[in-house]
């Protein structure tokens, strides 16, 4: 089988060029998957931070006296 394949490939340089192209394709696919994972992880962290902020706001609204000591101080809406 290798002998038949060797007859189809004109030179060793062509063989190495083909193997290099396949290697580059493989590395590109791995990098693409890594970027996709990185984006997914960043999106999940954003969702977690948003949930934390939402929980903090809900806690603040549940206890209206919590900010009463700052009433009249500073900037207002």
Q: pLDDT, tens digit, for every residue of 36-49?
A: 888 999 999 999 89
At 56, the pLDDT band (50, 70, 90 cuts) reads: confident
Structure token digits, residue 11: 């030179």
Residue ranges of domains in the chain: 24-62
The C-alpha atoms of residue 11 and residue 18 are separated, in whole angstroms, by 11
pTM over 0.75: no
């Amino acid at each position: 089988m290798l002998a038949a394949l060797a007859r189809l490939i004109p030179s060793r340089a062509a063989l190495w060029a083909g193997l290099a192209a396949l290697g580059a394709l493989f590395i590109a696919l791995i990098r693409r998957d890594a970027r996709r994972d990185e984006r997914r992880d960043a999106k999940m962290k954003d969702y977690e931070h948003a949930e934390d902020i939402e929980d903090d706001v809900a806690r603040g609204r549940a206890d209206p006296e919590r900010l009463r000591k700052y009433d009249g101080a500073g900037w207002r809406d």
